[in-house]
Structure 1
């Protein structure tokens, strides 16, 4: 990256810092990225589709915010590491908030799950997150003020036919198999949002967090994270 590009990408003096929101080209991730941009954060929008990612960035910029987008298919075993490295490059080495939101997968009965489906689910929901935390959290700890937010799903606490693979990988996320504790320095606050969903006529949400932070609730269309001092 040239010095000119680095200067244009670095969070400005009025910015609260850089946020990486994975899976932010639609749904919860898109709404969260837009909401944080409105409050003064510079946002890295992540997704797999260049057109959709560019649309989110354009909307944030139209609202007066600052945003860049990075493409990565987290089903690739190495994509999480690559996304983390490129995010640090965009933000000039400073990511203040990591929001692990990317996820998905088609329903499949347990006896029909294929190796490819298994790899996809655990690469996206677990492997990529470990890579992002391992790369981005140590610099966060050096600064002493940062937050990691992990968006899980109702599937991690409620059984549903045909979703055993999705549930098992999301449960790994909800059970915090990749702890930020043990990182040298001052580890970031780690927030676990266990579920958030929408219905056709109304929207509902619930959340649970780790013991070192107060409760945080997703209230569409905005992620309410006052409890961890993001706003």
Structure 2
């Protein structure tokens, strides 16, 4: 048995590359001008209090892996009274999100350009109204399943962070990941599934935002939607 005072190993990376092509000049400039003002405090430096970031916010939503930021920016635009927290380690995606935020003049968004799990650890209990996980890296080969974002530990952490009545939304276009996530969430104390009409997994929520990534249909199925509520 490992000693309790031995250093803990960090979790396996649940995401792939953090950069592909060169970041466009305009987006690169926003890393210097816009990002410093909307970046979350360093989660490794201590706890993060969302109420201190936006005292007047009607709620706090977290998007884990916001891709190019289309969904995050649109939801922030629709809900200006909600603090939108977005985490994304892929720097090209962060650059795209910064462009969306700048063009829309959004004031209710905070970003973390790295692993969302660090932010989750730094947030207090019952601090989030909604967690959104749209099309996370599928790691669909069996030997890579351990790298999936949704694990028993992650689901338990989400349950800890949600306020009573708060929801986690999960979307994937890989059948086996949908089944995997369903099993993990169902086994998590404090979470109950919210059924869709007819329990049709392919029915999106009324306020769902379709992104360019979703339109590519890169998985093995049409997008599958599931939602769990904190009880």
Q: TM-score, normalised by structure 2?
A: 0.53
Is the partner of 1:20 in helix, strand or coil?
strand
1:63 maps to 2:106: yes
SS, match of residue 96 in structure 1: strand
Paired position in structure 1 for 2:70: 31
Distance 2:136 2:109 in 1: 25
CA RMSD of aligned residues (A): 4.2
Structure 2: distance between partners of 1:59 and 1:136: 27
Unaligned runs of 5+ in 2: 1-40, 212-226
Alpha-carbon separation, structure 2, partners of 1:21 and 1:216: 18
| Structure 1: gaps spanning 5 or more residues | 73-82, 108-116, 157-167, 196-205, 209-214, 222-226
2:148 maps to 1:124: yes
1:41, distance to aligned residue in structure 2 (A): 2.3
Q: Distance in 1 between matches of 2:84 and 2:192?
A: 18
- Matching residue of 1:75: none
Q: The residue matched to 1:179 in structure 2 has which SS?
A: helix
Write out the 4+ residue segments of structure 1 that deviate beyond 6 Å after TM superposition: 191-195
1:21 maps to which of 51, 63, 72: 63
SS in 1 for 2:57: coil
Distance 1:217 1:45, change over 3 A: closer
Map 1:142-221 to 2 at 5 A. 143-153=163-173, 155-156=174-175, 168-173=176-181, 176-180=182-186, 183-184=189-190, 187=191, 190=194, 206-207=202-203, 216=206, 218-220=208-210
Check 1:19–1:123 CA distance in 2 against 1; reply closer, same or farther (3 A cut).
same
Matched, 1:135 2:157: yes
Deviation track 1:28-70 (CA, whole Å, cap 9, x = no partner) reads xx33212221203222222222353254156336323222224
Deviation at 1:92, TM superposition (A): 5.0
Distance 1:106 1:169, change over 3 A: closer
Please, which moves more after superposition, 95-104 or 118-127? 118-127
CA contact (8 A) 2:70 2:97 kept: no
Q: Which has the higher contact order (CA 8 A, sep 6+)?
A: 2
Q: Distance in 2 between matches of 1:133 and 1:106?
A: 17
- The two structures have a TM-score, normalised by structure 1, of 0.53
The answer (yes or no) to whether the contact 2:86–2:109 under 8 Å persists in 1 is no
Q: 1:132 to 1:54 in 2, by over 3 A?
A: farther
SS at match of 1:103: coil
Q: How many residues align?
A: 165
Counterpart contact for 1:15–1:41, Cα < 8 Å = yes
